[in-house]
Structure 1
């Protein structure tokens, strides 16, 4: 087992950065990062970004300096590399998620300001903000938990049409499809059983939208949700902070910054 770090050569935000990885285990990587005082917001799905000024301290703490090419090779060989498009940000890899119908999946949570590949999207959710910054949530009967409104895509629908229809069915709110801003996606990888992602439809698109009114009335025309309400950011975390998808929503609501 080894913790690896490459030279601080990647440039972003007016600084140079290194990448810190494990060639064996993400838990080992998280523990090492905590020991070095590297904040959790520096994690990018399969590595931590480390600013140049911390490089020496991280090496002194036991990270093995390697060329960037070797770091990438060993990360790929470990099976821990998170595949994503350039510019997308890996947030977390959640293993062994048990779904209500008995399926078990691993889920990659990825922040992105670009639409996911529509050919792969099987569902969409929307973070709906009102004019005061509160958020609409619904309680899913199937999942027996609170979350953003949304659901599965029907044949012939675009991803935005899917999102608009589901939000209206679950909350009564009528959204403007072009106003929906992509903020990330979840990639499902089956471990046990088969789901809609088994045939290449493996992405759940997450959108965000801001309304011009404060706490408009919420209604529902379907029985797939049992309740709905407006909540503050802190109330949202209390309701949803233990769900497997929370790290992605948290990243969207509180973007990382060194």
Structure 2
């Protein structure tokens, strides 16, 4: 029998997420290489000594091949999700129980041609722009409450871009 992992003893991974928005107020999502239909917004760990905004722009470069973005807003509180039992102890070398995230809303300042998923360590194999209302249905269930909170917090930012 396998070793039981004590979820409560594990910390949350400090992380940044990026809601990248185009000028129509649509949200960038990408499909993970390691699953058949798991879409998400760019996100990743915050390195020691790195600001949230620096981490956000670095993650965009690393995950989608471009940092062409203007930061518009940041969530007022950190948002958390826990890994489901079947992933606990398997991802991130078993060091974390989930992620504690600060989210950034950013306006994409490039063109679609600037997005290149063929990065040094590809995480995604497809991407698209989606209407904000359609976003939660694309996301794995254990991350959905965080995405709904991000949408609610950034709804004014999204509306302002739609009206431009």
TM-score w.r.t. structure 2 length?
0.61
Report 1:156-171 matches (<5 A).
Answer: 156-171=49-64
The answer to whether structure 1 residue 249 and structure 2 residue 147 are counterparts is yes
**1:138–1:228 contact (8 Å) kept in structure 2:** yes
Q: 1:210 aligns with which of 97, 107, 117?
A: 107
SS of structure 2 residue aligned to 1:245: helix
Which stretches in structure 1 are left out of the alignment for 5+ residues?
A: 1-101, 107-119
**2:15–2:99 contact (8 Å) kept in structure 1:** no
Report 1:69-218 matches (<5 A).
Answer: 122-142=14-34, 145-175=38-68, 179=71, 181-183=73-75, 184-187=77-80, 193=89, 195-197=94-96, 203-211=100-108, 216-217=112-113, 218=115
Q: What is the CA deviation profile of residues 48-93 of structure 1, one whole-angstrom value per residue up to 9, with x for unaligned ones?
A: xxxxxxxxxxxxxxxxxxxxxxxxxxxxxxxxxxxxxxxxxxxxxx
SS of structure 1 residue aligned to 2:17: strand
Q: 2:123 aligns with which of 220, 224, 229?
A: 224
Question: What does residue 158 of structure 2 align with?
Answer: none
C-alpha separation between the residues in 2 aligned to 1:197 and 1:225?
A: 22
- Which has the greater radius of gyration? 1
C-alpha separation between the residues in 2 aligned to 1:203 and 1:169?
A: 20
C-alpha separation between the residues in 1 aligned to 2:103 and 2:5?
A: 22
Which stretches in structure 2 are left out of the alignment for 5+ residues?
A: 156-164
RMSD of the alignment, in Å? 3.7
C-alpha separation between the residues in 2 aligned to 1:180 and 1:104?
A: 38
Single out whichever of 141-150 and 182-191 deviates more from structure 2.
182-191
Deviation at 1:176, TM superposition (A): 5.2
**2:68–2:109 contact (8 Å) kept in structure 1:** no
**2:61–2:67 contact (8 Å) kept in structure 1:** yes
